[in-house]
């Protein structure tokens, strides 16, 4: 086996998993001393074009509380047709269908390259996908028109048998009946009244009426269709729904001067959730909520309708001045949990210039695996393309989305699972492998992820069980198995099983090995997730302090230094980038709320805790490419010193894609040199970052905000706020040199940060 780098890469490609440590310390104490917990980023549905699913049921360990899946790491007695579970050591006979098994005739799940394998199983009748559009009609005419078009377009992207439904809301909430011929029919709910699921179902006529004993009545026509009057197959109601969407009008209730439109988002969602709950529980469904402003009335209201009362800011929240915050959050949380229980996910597409209440509503998506997309208007390509991308298809022509998945973690005896951080909810399945020490969403070995896509990545945190005096014996391997059951977008039920093993190592004797098995990228992201998770419930400064302490401890543990001599401090290669990640993480919008609205913070955090490692790292530390005449495009330091007049910079922060033209380049461009034949090369230079940006735009979900700016441009702030302020107005010492651009900030630079870090790390008193 080659380097750890390769090993890590290989593992990621095959199993979708990145561990913070690829050698595991053999006792709990040692693990604790490593600072960064044994943990991994797991991408359950990592795209594996090379992995055809098998068409049979997995073989399970027969022990009732184990039920682990047969995997390549199991010991198999081919003659006795018995296999031993590598989690509980139960010896299980193979099922009859495996009668022909032998060393040369092994089922796929026993082959080492199938440490990750996918089964297609038959469970009940296939249920179609369900898409329930919940549309805010309190929009500007232009926005509404754009939204209507997007929605109409989306119908063509849905599989013909998918069920669609439409709920519109403004001051009232309307559930549109799609089945009827003739008169368009809708059920209307008051936007201010909190209704129970039962009431909603009754009002929609979804409950089976008690058999009416009335005499002389013709028996009720079987209203089998009744339950799905509101959810119809696309192919049946395509035209109808297109017309309906076409006729959608802005909310007709007058909005007096100085007021916000009355927007009953809370009730609309409640109705949507109630409707699905009553009709298709435990079936994959997406509630897609499109909002153009904050909920202003009824349960879940975020701000009153008086324009003179602005929507809460971080300042208000810190001052405990956000009147509706707690109540609304609680309301949406309750709803998110209900929805999660039923396996329905909720997407929020919020397009408005001001905040729309994502802070309160974020849990809807966070807990159900739904998307949050935030934009300025529905009439932007950001929204239009992002929305289109929701329906993107994979190489098989299937949607890149899966529903109602239950992810279970099984660990070998030396490990326990502490929790998960990602778009999931706990299923409260206590088992022997569940730790009492919770990190993230813990206390369970099963999580529900209502909606998944190939990049959805969860952070999984583990702990080593063995006490210091009874370490795991050397030479053994710890095993973790992820069993993910889900509804594939082609309506099949599938189970994907990944079984992962790592060697145990004694931290005393093999600390170098352990150190070199450190995956600093994964570790940074995993720690960042922990930080973000904490930030949701703790004060910002506390989180930062915690992060700092962890970093210092890590440096103390692995740094090489002489006590109290900062200059002597050194970190090995496998940790060298880690402090820098932490530096940028501290500055990131995930932990800093300054300059961000509560909605933005929620939005950023939402994406951070679900993207895969690469994307997460970009979010933590944006990538900066430089284009110049001096050579091919190159990545450069995310540092103010990289901002030079004769360069074009392309920065990707995941959320934004910024193309920045240096001062000189900008002047040239303004002068129109690119138009002149003799400056073809300049034209090409200008074009290069655009092409690269385009490439990123192609694959990114959600679409990043695309910013094309130049030196001195107002939008240059996107770049300036991200780069390491190595030069500021405070330390501008190099006049005349090619030193990049000073940043007007009081933030510390990486250099200062590192200096402090070193000082603290080597300090004997720390």
Partner 1 sequence: MSQQGYVAAPPYSQAQPGMGGYQGGFGTGPAQPLYGHYGGPPQAFSAPPTGMMKSPVSSAVGMPPPPVSSQYNPNVQQNGAHPQRYPAPPAASAAYGQPLQAPYNSMGSAAPPPAQQLTNQMGAMNLGNYASGPMQSPPPPPTNSVAQQPFQISPPPAMGQPQMPPGLQSPHMSPQMSPPQSPPATMPMAGPPMAGSQMAGPPMAGSQMAGPPMAGSQMAGPPMAGMGRPFPGPPPGPGGFQQLGPGAAGPPGYPQQGGQFGGQMAGPQTGMPGAFPGAPGGLAGPPQKKLDPDSIPSTTQVIEDDQVKHGGQVYSTNVRGQVPPLVTTDFTVQDQGNASPRFMRCTTYSLPCTADLAKQCQVPLATIIKPFATLPKNETPLYVVNHGETGPIRCNRCKAYMCPYMQFIDGGRRFQCGFCNCVNEVPVFYFQHLDHMGRRVDLYERPELSLGSYEFIATMEYCKNNKRPNPPAYIFMIDVSYNNIKSGLVRLICDELKTLLENLPREEGAESSAIKVGFVTYNKILHFYNVKSALAQPQMMVVSDTAEMFVPLLDGFLVNYQESRAVISNLLDQIPDMFADTNESETVFAPVIQAGVEAFKAAECSGKLFIFHSSMPTAEAPGKLKNRDDKKLVNTEKEKTLFQPQKGVYEQLSKDCVAQGCCVDLFLFPSQYVDLATMADVPSHTGGSVYKYNNFQVETDGEHFLRELRKDVQKNIGFDAIMRVRTSTGFRATDFFGAIHMNNTTDIEMAAVDCEKALTVELKHDDTLSEETGALMQCALLYTTINGERRLRIHNLSLNCSLQLSELYKSCETDSLINFFAKSAYRAILNQPLKNVKEILVNQTAHMLACYRKNCASPSAASQLILPDAMKVFPVYMNSLMKTAPLVGSTELSTDDRAHQRLSVMGMGVEDTQLLLYPRLIPLHNTDVSSEAPPAPLRCSEERLTDSGMFLLENGHSMFLWLGQASPPDLIQNILNLPSLAHLQGHMCALPELDNPLSKKIRSIITGLLEKRPNSMKLQIVRQKDKPELLFRQFLVEDKGLHGGASYMDFLCYVHREIRQLLT
Nearer CB in complex with partner 1: 200/322: 200
Determine, following the binding rule CB under 8 A, whether residue 221 of this chain makes contact with partner 1: yes
**Distance (Å, rounded) from C-alpha 19 to C-alpha 12?**
9
Region class of 419: left (phi > 0), else alpha (psi between -120 and 50), else beta: left
Determine, following the binding rule CB under 8 A, whether residue 202 of this chain makes contact with partner 1: yes
CB of 48 to partner 1, least distance (A): 48
**Distance (Å, rounded) from C-alpha 60 to C-alpha 66?**
8
Determine, following the binding rule CB under 8 A, whether residue 195 of this chain makes contact with partner 1: yes
Strand partners, 487: 403, 493
Determine, following the binding rule CB under 8 A, whether residue 205 of this chain makes contact with partner 1: yes
CB of 274 to partner 1, least distance (A): 12
Which of these ranges, 216-224, 375-383, 563-571, 753-761, lies near partner 1 under the rule CB under 8 A? 216-224
**Distance (Å, rounded) from C-alpha 180 to C-alpha 396?**
35
Nearer CB in complex with partner 1: 34/267: 267
Residues 63 to 82: which contact partner 1 by CB under 8 A?
none
Which of these ranges, 86-94, 217-225, 230-238, 661-669, lies near partner 1 under the rule CB under 8 A? 217-225
Q: Which helix (H) or strand (E) element contains residue 73?
A: none
Orientation angle between helical segments 613-620 and 598-608, nearest 10 degrees: 140
Which of these ranges, 111-119, 215-223, 605-613, 704-712, lies near partner 1 under the rule CB under 8 A? 215-223
Determine, following the binding rule CB under 8 A, whether residue 208 of this chain makes contact with partner 1: no
Nearest CA to 284 among 119, 426, 485? 485
Nearer CB in complex with partner 1: 206/613: 206
CB of 193 to partner 1, least distance (A): 6
Which of these ranges, 211-219, 280-288, 299-307, 457-465, lies near partner 1 under the rule CB under 8 A? 211-219
Nearer CB in complex with partner 1: 187/603: 187
CB of 185 to partner 1, least distance (A): 4
The answer to whether 368 touches 336, Cβ cutoff 8 Å, is yes
**Distance (Å, rounded) from C-alpha 196 to C-alpha 174?**
17
**Distance (Å, rounded) from C-alpha 478 to C-alpha 87?**
9
Nearer CB in complex with partner 1: 205/566: 205
Nearer CB in complex with partner 1: 183/677: 183
Beta-carbon contacts of 755 under 8 Å, excluding residues fewer than 6 positions away, are: 566
Nearer CB in complex with partner 1: 218/541: 218
Secondary structure (DSSP) of 453-517: -TT--EEEEEEE-S-TTSPPPTT-EEEEEEEEEEE-TTS-EEEEEEEEEEEEE-TTT-HHHHHHT
Determine, following the binding rule CB under 8 A, whether residue 252 of this chain makes contact with partner 1: yes
Nearer CB in complex with partner 1: 188/734: 188
Determine, following the binding rule CB under 8 A, whether residue 204 of this chain makes contact with partner 1: yes
Integer angstrom CA distances of residue 256 from 171, 259, 306: 13, 6, 10
Taking CB under 8 A as the criterion, the residue among 122, 253, 676, 744 binding partner 1 is 253
Per-residue x/- marks for partner 1, 230-249, CB under 8 A?
A: -----------------x-x
**Distance (Å, rounded) from C-alpha 411 to C-alpha 479?**
6
CB of 136 to partner 1, least distance (A): 16
Taking CB under 8 A as the criterion, the residue among 208, 217, 308, 563 binding partner 1 is 217
Q: Tell me 235's DSSP state.
A: H
Which of these ranges, 189-197, 366-374, 502-510, 636-644, lies near partner 1 under the rule CB under 8 A? 189-197
Nearer CB in complex with partner 1: 66/173: 173
**Distance (Å, rounded) from C-alpha 726 to C-alpha 612?**
29
CB of 171 to partner 1, least distance (A): 9
CB of 210 to partner 1, least distance (A): 12
Taking CB under 8 A as the criterion, the residue among 189, 349, 383, 590 binding partner 1 is 189
Determine, following the binding rule CB under 8 A, whether residue 187 of this chain makes contact with partner 1: yes
**Distance (Å, rounded) from C-alpha 457 to C-alpha 43?**
4
Integer angstrom CA distances of residue 520 from 21, 229, 582: 9, 53, 11
The answer to whether 164 touches 237, Cβ cutoff 8 Å, is yes
Beta-carbon contacts of 684 under 8 Å, excluding residues fewer than 6 positions away, are: none
CB of 186 to partner 1, least distance (A): 5
CB of 245 to partner 1, least distance (A): 14
Nearer CB in complex with partner 1: 215/765: 215
**Distance (Å, rounded) from C-alpha 313 to C-alpha 677?**
52
**Distance (Å, rounded) from C-alpha 178 to C-alpha 167?**
11
Residues 167 to 186: which contact partner 1 by CB under 8 A?
172, 174, 177, 182-186
Nearer CB in complex with partner 1: 167/750: 167
Taking CB under 8 A as the criterion, the residue among 82, 111, 220, 734 binding partner 1 is 220
Determine, following the binding rule CB under 8 A, whether residue 256 of this chain makes contact with partner 1: no
Nearer CB in complex with partner 1: 65/212: 212
Nearer CB in complex with partner 1: 138/649: 138
Nearer CB in complex with partner 1: 189/660: 189
Nearer CB in complex with partner 1: 181/738: 181
Orientation angle between helical segments 381-390 and 141-157, nearest 10 degrees: 20
Burial label, 622 (beta-carbon count in 10 A; 0-12, 13-18, 19+): buried
CB of 296 to partner 1, least distance (A): 17
Taking CB under 8 A as the criterion, the residue among 33, 80, 102, 193 binding partner 1 is 193
Determine, following the binding rule CB under 8 A, whether residue 214 of this chain makes contact with partner 1: yes
Cis amide prior to 702 (ω within 30 degrees):
yes
Give the start-end residues of each E strand in 206-333: 232-233, 285-291
Nearer CB in complex with partner 1: 29/203: 203
Taking CB under 8 A as the criterion, the residue among 218, 256, 475, 541 binding partner 1 is 218
The answer to whether 72 touches 117, Cβ cutoff 8 Å, is no
Nearer CB in complex with partner 1: 251/414: 251
Beta-carbon contacts of 610 under 8 Å, excluding residues fewer than 6 positions away, are: 369, 422, 423, 455, 456, 457, 458
628-632, Cβ contacts within 8 angstroms, sequence gap of 24 or more: 628/685, 629/681, 629/685
Per-residue x/- marks for partner 1, 457-486, CB under 8 A?
A: ------------------------------
**Distance (Å, rounded) from C-alpha 411 to C-alpha 389?**
36
User: How many residues form the binding site for partner 1 (CB under 8 A)?
Assistant: 29
- Note the residues at the interface with partner 1 (CB under 8 A): 172, 174, 177, 182-190, 193, 195, 202-205, 212, 214, 217-218, 220-221, 247, 249, 252-254
């Amino acid at each position: 086996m080659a380097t750890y780098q390769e090993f890590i890469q290989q593992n990621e490609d095959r199993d979708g998993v990145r561990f913070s440590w690829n050698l595991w310390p053999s006792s709990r104490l040692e693990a604790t001393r490593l600072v960064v917990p044994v943990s991994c980023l797991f991408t359950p549905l990592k795209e594996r074009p090379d992995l055809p699913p098998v068409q049979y049921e997995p073989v399970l360990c027969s022990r009732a509380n184990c039920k682990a899946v047969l995997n390549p790491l199991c010991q198999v007695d081919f003659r006795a047709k018995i296999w031993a579970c590598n989690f509980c050591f139960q010896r299980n006979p193979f099922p009859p269908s495996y009668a022909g098994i032998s060393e040369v005739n092994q089922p796929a799940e026993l082959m080492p390259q199938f440490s990750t394998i996918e089964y297609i199983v038959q469970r009940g009748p296939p249920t179609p996908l369900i898409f329930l559009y919940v549309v805010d009609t309190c929009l500007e005419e232009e926005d509404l028109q754009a939204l209507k078009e997007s929605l109409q377009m989306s119908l063509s992207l849905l599989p013909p048998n998918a069920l669609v439904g439409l709920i519109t809301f403004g001051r009232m909430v309307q559930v549109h009946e799609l089945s009827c011929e003739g008169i368009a029919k809708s059920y209307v709910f008051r936007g201010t009244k909190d209704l129970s699921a039962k009431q909603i179902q009754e009002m929609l006529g979804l409950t089976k009426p008690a058999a009416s004993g009335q005499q002389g009545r013709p028996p009720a026509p079987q209203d089998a269709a009744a339950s799905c009057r509101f959810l119809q197959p696309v192919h049946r109601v395509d035209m109808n729904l297109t017309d309906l969407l076409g006729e959608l009008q802005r909310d007709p209730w007058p909005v007096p001067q100085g007021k916000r439109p009355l927007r009953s988002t809370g009730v609309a969602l409640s109705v949507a959730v109630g409707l699905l709950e009553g009709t298709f529980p435990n079936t994959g469904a997406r509630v897609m909520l499109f909002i153009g402003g904050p909920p202003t009335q009824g349960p879940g209201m975020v701000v009153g309708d008086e324009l003179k009362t602005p929507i809460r800011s971080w300042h208000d929240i810190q001052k405990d001045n956000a009147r509706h915050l707690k109540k609304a959050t609680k309301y949406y949380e309750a709803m998110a949990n209900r929805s999660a229980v039923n396996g329905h996910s909720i997407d929020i597409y919020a397009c408005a210039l001001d905040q729309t209440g994502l802070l309160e509503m974020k849990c809807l998506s966070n807990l159900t695996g739904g998307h949050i997309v935030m934009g300025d208007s529905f009439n932007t390509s950001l929204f239009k393309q992002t929305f289109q991308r929701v329906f993107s298809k994979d190489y098989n022509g299937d949607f890149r989305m899966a529903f109602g998945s239950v992810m279970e973690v099984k660990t070998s005896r030396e490990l326990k699972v502490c929790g998960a951080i990602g778009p999931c909810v706990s299923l409260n399945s206590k088992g022997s492998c569940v730790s009492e020490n919770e990190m993230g969403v813990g206390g369970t070995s099963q999580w529900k992820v209502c909606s998944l896509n190939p990049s959805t990545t969860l952070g999984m945190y583990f702990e080593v069980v063995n006490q210091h005096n009874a370490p795991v014996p050397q030479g053994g391997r710890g095993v973790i198995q992820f069993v993910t059951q889900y509804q594939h977008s082609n309506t099949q039920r599938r189970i994907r099983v990944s079984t992962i093993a790592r060697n145990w190592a004694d931290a005393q004797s093999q600390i170098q090995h352990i150190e070199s098995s450190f995956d600093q990228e994964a570790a940074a992201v995993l720690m960042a997730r922990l930080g973000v998770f904490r930030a949701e419930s703790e004060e910002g400064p506390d989180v930062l302090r915690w992060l700092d302490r962890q970093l210092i401890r890590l440096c103390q543990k692995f740094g090489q230094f002489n006590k109290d001599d900062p200059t002597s401090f050194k970190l090995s290669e496998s940790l060298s980038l880690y402090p820098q990640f932490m530096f940028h993480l501290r500055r990131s919008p995930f932990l800093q709320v300054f300059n961000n609205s509560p909605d933005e913070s929620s939005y950023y955090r939402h994406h951070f805790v679900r993207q895969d490692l690469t994307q997460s790292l970009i979010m933590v530390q944006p990538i900066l490419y430089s284009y110049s005449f001096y050579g091919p495009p190159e990545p450069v330091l995310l540092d103010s010193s990289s901002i030079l007049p004769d360069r074009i910079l392309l920065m990707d922060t995941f959320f934004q894609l910024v193309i920045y033209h240096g001062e000189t380049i900008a002047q040239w461009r303004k002068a129109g040199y690119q138009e002149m034949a003799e400056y073809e090369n300049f034209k090409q230079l200008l074009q290069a970052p655009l092409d690269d940006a385009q490439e990123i735009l192609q694959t990114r979900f959600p679409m990043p905000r695309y910013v094309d700016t130049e030196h001195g441009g107002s939008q240059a702030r996107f770049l300036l706020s991200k780069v390491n302020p190595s030069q500021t107005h405070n330390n501008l010492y190099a006049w005349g040199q090619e030193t990049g651009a000073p940043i007007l900030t009081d933030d510390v630079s990486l250099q200062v940060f590192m200096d402090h870090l070193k000082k603290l790390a080597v300090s004997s008193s720390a």
